[in-house]
A = this chain, B = another copy of it.
Amino acid sequence: MTDDKSTQMLTRLHHVNFLVKDLEQAVARYQDILGVVFTQRDELPDRGVKIARTCVGETWIVLVQPVDSQGVAAKHLERHGEGFFLISYQVEDVFAAATQVTAAGVVPVNSQPRQGLDDWQVLDLPADDLFGVSIQLVQSTDQG
């Protein structure tokens, strides 16, 4: 829909994360209501979460249950309740993206890209700078 996709920093809506209190309950309801089958399960001990995910079109839909009360996800859930957690846009080069956002005055939460699921290299941007939305930039080889 745009004239210059080739020059855009953001190439794809890579994943959207939603926080839930009870992963199994949420997975069952998503399947029951929307016919969504979550095809992959993961645990990320460093982030203090367990995860169920699947692709809708080219985008991963990710349900996230905090399992560590001190983690970022648990604190977000405590503060905001269940619901939207973050949106992650794919970029060609996460280091170049980090340089670009920093030049625009945004200080990423992590100074260096961190390892996410699979081969995802993730840069977190602060929600305060982006109108209340936690945005990630991710470099990965997957195609959704």
Residues of A within 8 A of B (CB): 1-4, 7-13, 16, 18-21, 26, 29-30, 32-37, 39-40, 54-61, 63, 81-84, 87, 89-90, 100-101, 104-106, 125, 127, 129-133, 135, 142, 144
Number of copies of this chain in the oligomer?
Answer: 2
B58 x A57 contact (CB < 8 A): yes
Q: Chain B residue with minimal CB distance to A137? A: B34
B33 x A106 contact (CB < 8 A): yes
29 contacts between A and B (CB under 8 A): A1-B39, A1-B54, A1-B55, A1-B60, A3-B39, A8-B56, A9-B34, A9-B35, A10-B34, A10-B56, A11-B56, A12-B57, A12-B58, A13-B58, A18-B132, A19-B132, A29-B129, A29-B130, A33-B106, A34-B89, A35-B100, A57-B90, A59-B59, A81-B132, A82-B131, A82-B132, A83-B84, A83-B127, A83-B133
B35 x A131 contact (CB < 8 A): no
* Residues of A contacting B: mostly: mixed
